[in-house]
Amino acid sequence: MNIPFVDLKAQYLTIKDELTRGIEQVIEETAFIGGKYVAEFEEAFARMLGVKHCVGVGNGTDAIYIALRMLGIGRGDEVITVANTWISTAETIAQCGAKPVFIDITADQYTIDPDKIEAKITKNTKAIIPVHLYGYPADMDPILALAKKYDLDIVEDCAQAHLAKYKGTNVGLLSDVATFSFYPGKNLGAYGDAGCIVTNDDILAEKCRMFANHGALKKHEHKIDGINSRLDALQAAILSAKLPHLENWTAKRREVAALYRKYLHDVDGIKLPPDIVNSVYHLFVIRSAKRDELQDFLKSKGIGTSIHYPTPLPLLPVYQHLGYVPSDIPVSAEYQSQILSLPMYAELSELQVRYVCDQIREFQ
């Protein structure tokens, strides 16, 4: 059996007609930048989340950068984030001229450890970026309490957590502003780069929209120096065609996760991810002390896996100048050689999941 780590073709085949119709409309009308297809998606996504504004931008990385810039983050500021995440979360802090400050993850949930944040807050700290990693909501209550106590902004990085909920509230609505990525492999993925910023704050939404569009809300009326980072209409049409399926795909991911648990719970040497309601399983990450051998073995059996992420961000060459050592982030440092992401997408069949689990059992 051949089971790739992700299979975007399998999803495409289930919605080919709707997608083709959406793409053709945009081309027929040559409505490539801005216009109704972008507005339609922004409105639909905002409605689904229950938020007032959705500002489509070029990608999920720009979404973070734009949000930070429009919150006024700049040179001399510090922004707290988590050691185990995709590079975007930290590089956007640096793009603003600010300094990323890294916090370890919790041992059981792989998201930012709220207990380790307060010690890192200084007079320069301006914001916290919690990441809802792997589809798990970060533990927001203590983070929100700290933000209140020290008057900090929060930008939720929801790139891996479309429709995940924390204590009944959709992620992205827990703080003043949040960002999403629609990178093709994300739970809601475009066919190219795309992202958005969501907020209930009218002024912040307008600022973000302006900054992302050359500093202008109307053509030729440039009010600030901006950038060019827009959600393009073809991607918006693709996202609009996919959006009505998102809840169903999310339910399917949960079913796949349940199957992994069922077939792996008694396999020695495998640590399963936490079973948290309302997580959306962007990734299904197990741990094994023999991770590299397991990954090679699964590859030899036709099973694709991946590692999210091989190196905690503060230990990457790019952040060496910040002087972190593994003992600063002990959990992230320990897990980096153990974590392994198994195939996870809505179209996986029980037979396929069973096969993956049988091979893992055979390896042990």
Based on the shown chain and the rule CB under 6 A, indicate whether residue 199 belongs to the binding site for ligand PLP: no
Based on the shown chain and the rule CB under 6 A, indicate whether residue 229 belongs to the binding site for ligand PLP: no
> Which neighbouring-strand residues pair with 287?
271, 339
- Binding ligand PLP (rule: CB under 6 A), the pick from 195, 312, 314, 343 is 195
- Binding ligand PLP (rule: CB under 6 A), the pick from 49, 105, 159, 257 is 159
Nearer to ligand PLP, 45 or 263 (CB): 45
Residue 21: what are its φ and ψ, rounded to 5°?
-60, -45
> How far is 195 from 218, CA to CA, in rounded Å?
21
Give the closest residue to 336 by CA, choosing from 293, 280, 292: 292
CB 141 within 8 A of CB 171: no
Q: Beta-carbon neighbour count of residue 25 at 10 Å?
A: 15
Helix (H, G, I), strand (E, B) or coil at 187: coil
Report in angstroms the alpha-carbon separations of 116 from 124, 142, 194, 280, 288. 17, 11, 33, 25, 26
- Residue 62 CB, shortest distance to ligand PLP, in Å, is 7
Based on the shown chain and the rule CB under 6 A, indicate whether residue 183 belongs to the binding site for ligand PLP: yes
- Binding ligand PLP (rule: CB under 6 A), the pick from 157, 175, 207, 331 is 157
Tokens of 163: 């429709």
- Residue 185 CB, shortest distance to ligand PLP, in Å, is 8
Helices 16-28 and 233-242 cross at an angle (nearest 10°) of: 150
> How far is 180 from 61, CA to CA, in rounded Å?
9
Nearer to ligand PLP, 239 or 294 (CB): 239
Residue 89 identity: T
- Binding ligand PLP (rule: CB under 6 A), the pick from 111, 181, 229, 295 is 181
- Residue 211 CB, shortest distance to ligand PLP, in Å, is 16
Q: Which residue is nearest to ligand PLP (CB)?
A: 60
- Residue 135 CB, shortest distance to ligand PLP, in Å, is 10
Binding residues for ligand PLP restricted to 110-139, rule: CB under 6 A: 131
Site string for ligand PLP, 300-319 (x = CB under 6 A): --------------------
Q: Near ligand PLP by CB under 6 A, which window of 13-21, 139-147, 157-165, 230-238?
A: 157-165
Nearer to ligand PLP, 183 or 363 (CB): 183
How many degrees, rounded to 5, is the angle at CA 203 between CA 197 and CA 205? Answer: 15
Tokens of 307: 């590692």
Binding residues for ligand PLP restricted to 36-95, rule: CB under 6 A: 59-61, 85-86, 88-89
Q: What is the dihedral of CA 177, 319, 111, 236, to 10 degrees?
A: 40
Residues interacting with ligand PLP, by CB under 6 A? 59-61, 85-86, 88-89, 131, 157, 159-160, 181, 183, 193, 195
